[in-house]
Amino acid sequence: MTNYVLIPSYCPDAHLTGLLQELSKAGFACVVVDDGSSPEYQEIFMAAEPYCTMLCHPHNLGKGAALRTGLEWIRRHGSAEDIIVTADGDGQHTADDILRCAQISQRFPKALVLGCRSFDGSVPAHNRLGNQITAGMFQLLTGRKLSDTQTGLRAFRGALIPMMLAAKGDRYEYEMNVLLDCIPAGIPYQEVPIRTIYEDGNRSSHFHVLRDSLLICRQLLKFAASSAASFCVDYSLFLLFSLPAVSAAQVLYANVAARIFSATFNYELNRRCVFVDQSRRQTTWWKYALLAGFILCLNTAILSLMIEVLGISRYAAKLLTEAVLFFFSWALQKNAVFSRPANVRRISDHEAQ
């Protein structure tokens, strides 16, 4: 069994060589991917090369692409029992923390080990904000709370490499997609506390808060687009079916009929484009049908309350009802229809030692 350290590197600083020296002394086989760094950084890579296997991209492809390049090399040269630790070479991750994550992975071979920072003290504002956005989105999408969704320090067995290679995204969204893919695969998380290090305001980081947070959260954005399209179908049919309506009961009948058509449209759109579920329709359709029936009852109850009790017009009531149920529907589809549960376990400082 070999312990690998995989470091994607773009325009690194002098920390890279020192880290590789420490890891080599600790017995790690180090793999570095130069992700198309500019020529002035070649001196740093030349100094690092004696301590690692160096792989190179001809131009910058992104962190996710660099990780896949390194993982493919390890897949060809390693085994399913090997331990792989992905880490950053900009000084944020210490050799001691990398070693701890490898040791935890040895104890929990089926888990994805996450080296999690505390984000307290003098953490740069953009880093804290970026983590709050992505951690909040992750909890919203999955119902699972992780303290550090952006951590690049992760450990896992070689058996998980095929799943890692299949994860989508070429930039920072790749690491979030790996976390999301662990859920339907039934892979648990193990959180390990690590040191929080930000030197010189973390200026060596290439994470762009707005751009990369949007990339990370694009599955939710796709769901929003799918919901908007389905809502247009639903609302148009609701208007058509309720045109002759003169009573609240007839309005509710129109709502049920419109929802049956739009739910079928929404199911196919989410299965094919949002959650990209490859299973047979029979395995998800019945769960979606139950969910759609439940949401329809809830939708109808809220709509009836707004129209009959609060006196809101049927058109405004319909808009408000759909807005209220948007995130509720997302969470249930993500966790109950198109995925299987996964566990999150946090390891104490005492256990991690």
Question: Both tokens of residue 261?
Answer: 């058509």
Determine how β-strand 3-9 pairs with β-strand 29-35.
parallel
Q: Are 57 and 66 in contact (CB under 8 A)?
A: yes
Which DSSP category does 272 fall into? I
Predicted confidence (pLDDT) per residue in 132-175, tens digit: 777 777 776 677 888 888 899 999 999 999 999 998 888 878 88
pLDDT winner (highest mean) among 6-10, 207-211, 303-307, 331-335: 6-10
Give kind and range of the element (H or E) at residue 102. helix 95-107
- Of 82, 102, 81, nearest in space to 93 by CA: 102
The better pLDDT of the pair 22, 247 is held by 22
pTM for this model (two decimals): 0.67
pLDDT computed for residue 341 by the predictor: 47
d(Cα 315, Cα 62) in Å, to the nearest integer? 46
Cite the residue boundaries of each domain of the chain with CATH code 3.90.550.10: 3-216
CATH class label, 3-216 = alpha beta
| Mean pLDDT computed over every residue of the chain | 81
Predicted confidence (pLDDT) per residue in 270-279, tens digit: 777 766 665 5
Residue with tokens 């149920």: 325
Question: Three-state SS for 215?
Answer: helix
pLDDT computed for residue 262 by the predictor: 86
d(Cα 171, Cα 293) in Å, to the nearest integer? 38
Question: Both tokens of residue 238?
Answer: 């609701």
pLDDT mean over 254-282:
74
Cβ neighbourhood burial of 304 (10 Å; 0-12, 13-18, 19+): middle
pLDDT mean over 17-24:
95
